[in-house]
């Protein structure tokens, strides 16, 4: 009798723990300071500036664009 209850209980416990872990991860990632720096508007602006500078440097040196 106990074994017929134990298996579903283990699966339910696993699903509950996974749901809590996902909820905590989402809550953690909502804070902007916990995200990767390039995922912020400031990081995207810095990446765009670096890309423009690299294109300008390529044009000045006459090198072809490499993708």
Alpha helix ranges (H) inside 1-67: 2-30, 41-61
pLDDT reading at 34 higher than 80: no
* Residues 56 and 62 sit within 8 Å (Cβ to Cβ): no
Q: Note the pTM of the prediction, 2 decimals.
A: 0.47
pLDDT reading at 67 higher than 70: no
Q: Of 43, 19, 40, 15, whose CA–CA distance to 29 is shortest?
A: 40
| pLDDT band for position 8 (cuts 50, 70, 90) | confident
* Size of the chain, expressed as the number of residues it contains: 67
Q: What is the pLDDT of residues 39-61, one digit of tens each?
A: 677 778 888 898 889 888 888 88
């Amino acid at each position: 009798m106990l074994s017929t209850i134990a298996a579903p209980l283990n699966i339910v416990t696993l699903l509950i723990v996974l749901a809590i872990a996902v909820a905590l991860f989402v809550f953690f990632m909502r804070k902007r300071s916990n995200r990767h720096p390039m995922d912020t508007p400031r990081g995207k602006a810095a990446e765009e500036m670096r890309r423009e500078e690299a294109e300008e440097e390529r044009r000045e040196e006459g090198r072809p664009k490499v993708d």
